[in-house]
Structure formats: C-alpha cells, structure tokens
Amino acid sequence: MIIIMQSHASDEQVHGVEERLAAMGLRPHVSRGIERTVIGAIGDERVVDEEALEALPGVERVVRVMKPYKIVARESHDRDTVVQVGDVAIGGRTIQVIAGPCSVETPEQMAAAAAGVAAAGCRLMRGGAFKPRTSPYAFQGVGVEGLEMMREAARLHGLPIVTELMDVRLLDTFLEHGVDVIQIGTRNMQNFDLLKAVGRTHTPVILKRGLSATVAEWLMAAEYIAAGGNHNIIFCERGVRTFENAYRNMLDVTAIPVLKRETHLPVIIDPSHAGGKAWMVPALARAAIAAGADGLLVEMHPTPAQAWSDADQALSPEELRDLMAELRGIARVLGREI
C-alpha cells in the first residue's frame, strides 16, 4: 500500500502519516520526489483502515498495490508520467529521439556529431565518456575529458546530454559537469548501490534492461531508484540475450505494451544495440514507434567507418535525417509527433 501526499503537504503532515502507520503495526518508507511525496506501508496491509488514512491532513489518496514494485506501478499514478529534461519532455504526445555516437572520441568528432543530431531534428544528444566493454583490451572511453567535450559540443546546439554512469564514485563528477540524463547500462541494471545513489538525486535516469532480465526484475530495479526519491525514470529496452546469433540481441517489442500496462513511466527503445547493424536500425525503430514507444536511443557517428567503438551499428548523419522523416509519418498516424 502507498499513501500519496498532496503536493503542498508539510513535513509535519508527512510525519503524522508515519506515526499513524506505525500505530497500525506497519513500517513506513518515505520517498520524496520533486512533485510529490509517497509513503510506502510495509507489513500486513489487512489491518489498514484506508478511510482513516485518507482523512489525515495532507493525504491526497491511498492506493493498495499488491505488486512488489509500488511507486513505479501503474496503480500509483493515474496519468502517464512525463519526465522533463530542461525544456524537453520525454513521454506524452511528443516522441523524442536521442542520438549521438557510441563513444566520445575527439572535440572535432563531437562537434560534427552535435551538428548532425541537431540538423536531423533530435532534441537530445547521447555519447559515452566511459565505456563498458566485453574485452578489457577494447577502447574504454576517454573519461572525464569526454564529459567536457560532450558538454561543449551539445551546448552550441542547445542539446541536453545523455551519458552512461558505471561507477557510483563518479556520480558527483557527472553532476558537476551538468549531465542532464544519467544512463544506467545493461550490465548495471541490478547494481543496487548505483541505483540507490542515483535515486538520491533528481536527475532523470534512463534504466536499460539487463541482458537476461525479466520485466518484473526490471521494474524492481526501477523501484530502487524511485524509493530513494527520484521518480524521473525512463525505461529503455535494448534487446535481450537469446540463442540467436544472426543479430546482436533480440529486440523485445512486446515489452513496450507490457510496460505501458504495468507502469506510468516512459518507455524508449535502443534499436542500435538490439540489431547491432546499421541496416537493421530503421526497421526496428519503425516497429518500436508503431508499438507505442515514447522515444528512441540511436547511435549516429559523423563517419561511422572510423568510429572507435560499435562502428557497425552507427548511422551516418544522412541516415539519421532520413530515419527521422520516416518516423514522423508513423507518429502522425498514431496522433503523435516527433
């Protein structure tokens, strides 16, 4: 069960609800977001008098949620959540395409990439300053210097930046460099210390699905972030590991309607890591938008053949521009826009 407090609820009113829950034999867990405070009631919910709780000062409503994930559950929030990244909204009517190179390489590369992202009509830019690689001998990213390169290149075009955080010790550095959206990658979906840490911020988080994670495990990982007070969470499906080797990962398009049923949070798709080949990306992107995704995470490099990582799956600036034109047509059919 969760108790949703009114937006103007005072600390004293929140404490009053905590005391009432304790008197009922339940343990309260308070999650303070920017827009609202949510109090989880842990214990035997059968003893709860819902009407008595709803009558308490500052309480908006009481919701009985039987699923293990409470705050991210659809039942806890009537409307779809729209995550704001500056002036850019993720969720709602507008579909957002986040594009940019797999890895930050040089200032010249990032300047060209930012120009290509903006020219295609994308409103956010991605790029990896720190790269999780299967091989310890592969390029691992340029580090903090990459954050500076990316920030400067994106600033010239007014693009918020999205980049992956791998180490909880670098969280403060990310915040100091003005990272607008923190990405939690596939390999860290169940890095609970990392999830708790980003949960204590209010920076929007893109949470990618683990290699073999079920939807329920994915939702519970998001609950770790939400329980810390950060409700600005965006799910990202990027394909799961199967026996097939004709493509990099199997894009689970079915996860889109399932998540839309289970959670109020936005859902985006990464067609680049799913297919693993640039020629697959447009088809997978079209399928994702048609299935109801709120956005895409697409790799684009100014010169894909020269990319330092994931060259095979990167679109060229021209290919990204053509893809955006195709997606606008699909969005219009669905009553949405890009």
To the question of pTM greater than 0.75 for the whole model, the response is yes
Read off the pLDDT of residues 60-113 as tens digits, 9 standing for 90 and up.
988 887 788 889 999 888 789 999 999 999 999 999 999 999 999 999 999 999
Q: Which fold has domain 2-64?
A: Alpha-Beta Plaits (3.30.70)
Helices (H), the chain: 11-23, 50-54, 107-120, 144-155, 171-176, 192-199, 215-227, 255-262, 271-275, 281-290, 317-333
pLDDT at residue 139, as a whole number: 66
**Which pLDDT does position 41 carry in this prediction?**
85
**One CATH from 3.30.70.270, 3.30.70.260, 3.20.20.70, 3.20.20.140 for 83-333:** 3.20.20.70
pLDDT of residue 51: 85
Average pLDDT over residues 297-323: 95
Residue 130: predicted pLDDT: 84
Residue whose C-alpha is closest to residue 186's, from 246, 133, 126, 245: 133
The answer to whether 36 and 7 have CB atoms below 8 angstroms apart is yes
Long-range contacts, stretch 19-26, CB < 8 angstroms, 24+ apart: 20/52, 20/53, 20/56, 21/53, 24/48, 24/49
> pLDDT for 133-146, tens place per residue?
667 766 667 789 99
User: Could you read off the pLDDT of 183-199 as tens digits, one per residue?
Assistant: 999 999 999 999 999 99
Q: Where are the domains of the chain?
A: 2-64, 83-333
